[in-house]
Amino acid sequence: MNTKIWVRTEHKANEHRVAVVPKDAKALIDAGYDVTVEKSADRCVAIEDYEAVGCTIAEEGSWPSAPKDAFVLGVKELPAGDDDLIHRHIYFGHVYKDQPGWQHTLGRFVSGKGTLYDLECLVDENNRRVAAFGYWAGYAGAAVAVMAWNGQQAGNTPSLDVVNSYKNVDALLAYLKSGLDKSAAKPNMVVIGALGRSGSGAVDLGEALGLDVSKWDMAETSSGGPFPELQQHSIFVNCILATKECPRFVSADDIKVEDRKLSVISDVSCDPESIYNPIPIYNRSTTFTAPVFSVEGCTPPLDVIAIDHLPSMLPLESSEDYSNQLTKVLLELNEPEKGVWGRALNDFNKNLARL
């Protein structure tokens, strides 16, 4: 029996990415998979392109009626609800770090006897992620930070009122350069996690704009803090995941210094509700339609950006890159209890045991 993959509509607002692009869908079909793709008005790739490579086309949001043995593949979380989840789902679940509502979401899998293969848990034998949007998250996170800084220089309140998606990188860079050209000076930027995927994307964006970029990683943060040097950068881009071992990079006390230059923080890793949040001056995510959180009582102003689906700002490039990585392991999905998939399944079962 052929392995079935059902590419569902994304339900999150302003989400334009897709986990598998047509070129890679064809590779799966050529390998004997049955690939169904739902229609979507917001996806960065036209449904006709999937039809042209042999995918079966389904109506938008019809995944609950997919064959029970299908793997339902998405990028971001499912819509909120109480319905039982009966399928084997593949997406970024955001339910393993005690995020609000995690028990309810996992409970839907329990009652429906479904399974979650969390995309964040697809790792090789060395515990390294086999597919990640990280590079484009960092690139976009640094870009939004520059937008907010430009807005501050222009005297806008809020500094940034909306974030749009861009056709490609060139269009994004042209927009950012036009904003920087209106200012007498350029911001400097510090990236923590500069040697990782997200960090390298943030560094590349800063350097593409000709900014002075400080590249920090484990060596620069090994002291555990405090880190007063961060206050002397206009923009701080955090690309380090929140963990128990992670230092606190910017606290309420840190930003009280009189000579603070820091005016924009982009938290690419975006775990504000975690008890391990390394930037504990804010506690909620921001969105494409409300992208900045202004820290109260700050002079000069300090804006925090914490959008949890930043790569959707460059949906085509990020989807093509991610799809190329993910398809390699989707081709192993005929044995979902082994290898990469087996490790993700173990993570799911461990977290079910916490309920």
Residue 194 covered by a domain: yes
pLDDT digits (tens, 9 = 90+) for 58-93: 999 999 999 999 999 999 999 999 999 999 999 999
187-223: pLDDT as tens digits: 999 999 999 999 999 999 999 999 999 999 999 999 9
Same domain as 162, residue 301:
yes
What rounded mean pLDDT belongs to the chain? 96
Q: Give the domain CATH number at 294.
A: 3.40.50.720
41 located within any domain: yes
Please report where in the chains the tokens 């494409």 appear, as a residue: 288
Q: Are residues 239 and 190 in the same domain?
A: yes
Average confidence (pLDDT) over 248-276: 94
Answer for the pair 278, 134: CB distance below 8 angstroms, yes or no.
no
Mean pLDDT within 27-53: 97
Count of the separate structural domains present in the chain: 2
99 pLDDT more than 90: no
CB 114 within 8 A of CB 84: yes
Using a pLDDT cut of 70, give the percent of the chain over it.
Answer: 100
Please give the span between the terminal C-alpha atoms of the chain, in angstroms, as a whole number. 34
Pair 54, 147 in one domain: no
Residue 241 lies inside a defined structural domain of this protein: yes
* pLDDT exceeds cutoff 90 at 129: yes
* pLDDT value, residue 43: 96
Angle at 152 between CA 150 and CA 158, to 5 degrees: 115
- The answer to whether 102 and 109 are in contact (CB under 8 A) is no
Q: Is the pLDDT of residue 20 over 90?
A: yes
Using an 8 Å Cβ cutoff, are 154 and 147 in contact?
A: no
Q: What is the pLDDT of residue 303?
A: 98
Q: Are residues 112 and 171 in the same domain?
A: no
Looking up tokens 């996170």, which residue turns up? 141
Please tell me which residue in 16, 76, 215, 233 is annotated as part of the active site: 76
In a domain, 129, yes or no: no
Q: Do 138 and 110 have their domain in common?
A: no
Question: At 271, phi and psi to the nearest 5?
Answer: -130, 55
Indicate if 203 and 308 belong to the same structural domain: yes
- Residues 16/165, Cβ–Cβ less than 8 Å: yes
CA distance 43 to 61: 13
Rounded CA gap, 84 and 303, in Å?
40
Q: Round to whole Å and give the CA distance between 268 and 121.
A: 18
Q: Is residue 126 part of a domain?
A: no
| Candidates 12, 94, 215, 309; catalytic one | 94
Average pLDDT over residues 147-153: 98
In a domain, 40, yes or no: yes
Q: Is residue 128 part of a domain?
A: no
203 in the same domain as 59: no
How many Cβ atoms from other residues are within 10 Å of residue 82's Cβ?
Answer: 8
CA angle 270, 271, 273 (to 5 degrees): 135
Does 173 share its domain with 244?
yes
**CB under 8 A, 24+ apart: contacts of 249-255:** 249/192, 249/221, 249/225, 249/278, 249/279, 250/278, 250/279, 250/281, 251/226, 251/280, 251/281, 252/280, 252/281, 253/226, 254/226, 254/227, 254/228, 254/230, 255/231, 255/281, 255/295, 255/298, 255/302
In this prediction, residue 342 carries a pLDDT of 98
Task: Tell me which residue range forms the domain holding 230.
Answer: 134-313
| Residue (of 112, 24, 18, 131) closest to 74 by Cα position | 18
Q: What is the pLDDT of residue 97?
A: 83
Are 285 and 307 in contact by the 8 Å Cβ rule? The answer is yes
Q: Are residues 57 and 138 in the same domain?
A: no
- Among 273, 218, 283, 272, which Cα is nearest to 247's? 218
Is 127 domain-assigned? Answer: no
**Pair (336, 188) in one structural domain:** no
**Lowest-pLDDT range of 95-99, 119-123, 160-164, 248-252:** 95-99
On whether both 161 and 117 belong to a single domain, the answer is no
| Segment 111-128, tens digit of pLDDT | 999 999 999 999 999 999
Calpha distance 138→259 (Å, rounded): 27
Phi, psi of 220 (to 5 degrees): -75, -15
Active-site annotation holds for 177: no
Beta bridge partners of 236: 190, 265
Domain match, 163 and 213 both: yes
DSSP-derived letter for residue 247 is: -
pLDDT at 242: 86
In the predicted structure, residue 271 carries a pLDDT above the cut 90: no
CA distance 73 to 119: 10
97 catalytically annotated: no
List, edge to edge, every strand of the sheet that includes 293-294.
212-216, 188-192, 235-238, 264-267, 303-305, 293-294
